[in-house]
Structure 1
Amino acid sequence: MINNLLKTAVGRLRIIAFLEGCSYLLLGFTMILKYKFGMPQPNYVVGLAHGILFVLYIVLVLQVSFLQRWNLVKIFWAFIASLVPFGTFYADKTIFR
Structure 2
Amino acid sequence: MPEGLSFVLLLVCVVLKSTTSFNAVPVLGMVHGILWTCYMLFGLEAWRRQRWSLWRAAWILLLSVIPLGGFYAERLMAKEEREGYGPVPATA
Q: TM-score if structure 2 supplies the norm length?
A: 0.77
Cα distance in 1 for residues equivalent to 2:70 and 2:13: 19
Q: Pick from 7, 25, 46: which aligns with 1:43?
A: 25
Return the structure number with greater helix share.
1
Aligned-residue sequence identity (percent) comes to 33
Point out where structure 2 has 5 or more consecutive residues left out of the alignment: 82-92
Match of 1:67 among 23, 39, 49: 49
- List structure 1 runs of 4+ shifted beyond 4 angstroms: none
The corresponding residue for 2:37 is 55
- Cα deviation for residue 85 of structure 1 reads 2.2
Q: How many residues align?
A: 79
Higher radius of gyration, 1 or 2 = 2
Partner of 1:30: 13
Normalised TM-score (structure 1):
0.73
- Runs of 5+ consecutive residues of structure 1 not aligned to the other structure: 1-17
Amino acid at match of 1:70: W
User: In the alignment, is the contact (CA less than 8 A) between 1:78 and 1:95 conserved in 2?
Assistant: no
Residues 36-82 of structure 1 show CA distances to partners (whole Å, capped at 9, x for unaligned) of: 32432x11111111010011111000001000011111111111111
Is 1:91 aligned to 2:73, yes or no? yes
